[in-house]
Amino acid sequence: MAKVAIVTGSATGLGAACAVDLADRGWNVTINYTKSKKEADETYASVKERGGDAIVVQADVGRDADCRKLVSETFKKWGRIDGLINNAGTTKFQAQGDFEGVTPEDFDRIFRVNVTGTYMMSRAVWPTMKKQWEENKQRGSIVNVSTNATVTGNGSSIPYVASKGAVNTLTLMLARMFAPAARVNTICPGFIQSRWLLNGLGEADYNKMKDDMEQRTLLCQAGTPEQMAEAALFFLTSASNITGEILIVDAGSHLGLIPAKER
């Protein structure tokens, strides 16, 4: 029987790449979106083309009822849940030094989706993963998506970086609470070539950052959604003896960019 995963925020970008990669590995997938229905349907079609089964569920992970709906509809479809990728997230882009660029309301919204949403989705899958472990010793896996900005302190905004730091700490606590029924790990991507980042930064800043990644990181790479999905699926499908781990995936950019003259 094929394994089943929920991937939140999987209409585009990293989430969509995870859904497609899972289908290539024989998994069935719940594709989740909040607003991007057209893109979610396209991801669904890509999963089906690769032989995977899928459903598309609209849900806001910042709402507990929606989190429980995602889990309920997944279980109703396949009768099991083996994996969860907490990818859905939000931010507000804040200019360097502009302390008035974010409000307390921005903090509330960003933490509600990025931190509370990660917690509520994990809580919602817990009864199913616990039961599968107790009855069949089938261990589940949860992968959270954070950011390398939790190490560098250089991200889209203060509340975004703070929220992802909280996700890293939450990962450690959840790894304890879910053991031994499930493993819980986190990836911390750096720059990802995506529409989300392009829209947030603007074309000029996006292209400059992309050029820096390609020319001045240790691996001379600007990360792709597919590369980040490789890391997420390593934790989800392969790393059977790893839990509570936080992995930076950024071509070495957290170690600093190499001066252009040295390239």
pLDDT confidence tier of residue 258, bands split at 50, 70 and 90: confident
For tokens 């616990």, name the residue: 130
Q: Residues 6 or more apart from 105 whose CB is under 8 A from it?
A: none
pLDDT confidence tier of residue 225, bands split at 50, 70 and 90: very high
pLDDT number for residue 203: 87
H-helix or E-strand spanning residue 232: helix 225-233
Q: What average pLDDT is seen over the chain?
A: 94
Does residue 245 sit in helix, strand or coil? coil
Handedness of CA 201, 111, 37, 237 (dihedral sign): positive
Q: What is the mean pLDDT of residues 7-29?
A: 97
Active site (annotated) includes residue 160: yes
Q: Is the pLDDT confidence value at 263 over 60?
A: no
Which residue ranges make up each domain of the chain? 4-190+225-256
Q: Is the pLDDT confidence value at 260 over 70?
A: no
Q: Is the pLDDT confidence value at 230 over 70?
A: yes
For tokens 């252009």, name the residue: 260
Q: Residues 6 or more apart from 240 whose CB is under 8 A from it?
A: 139, 183
List, for residues 147-193, the tens digit of each pLDDT value.
Answer: 999 999 988 899 999 999 999 999 999 999 999 999 999 999 998 88
What is the CATH number assigned to the segment(s) 4-190+225-256? 3.40.50.720
Give the tokens for residue 43: 């991801």
pLDDT confidence tier of residue 222, bands split at 50, 70 and 90: very high
List, for residues 54-82, the tens digit of each pLDDT value.
Answer: 999 999 999 999 999 999 999 999 999 99
Q: What is the mean pLDDT of residues 40-53?
A: 96
DSSP secondary structure code for residue 202 in this structure = -
pLDDT confidence tier of residue 1, bands split at 50, 70 and 90: confident
Cα(213)–Cα(220) distance, rounded to whole angstroms? 6
pLDDT number for residue 262: 59
Out of 44, 119, 160, 206, the active site residue is 160
Q: Is the pLDDT confidence value at 138 over 90?
A: yes
Q: How many CA atoms lie within 13 A of 38 on its CB side?
A: 0
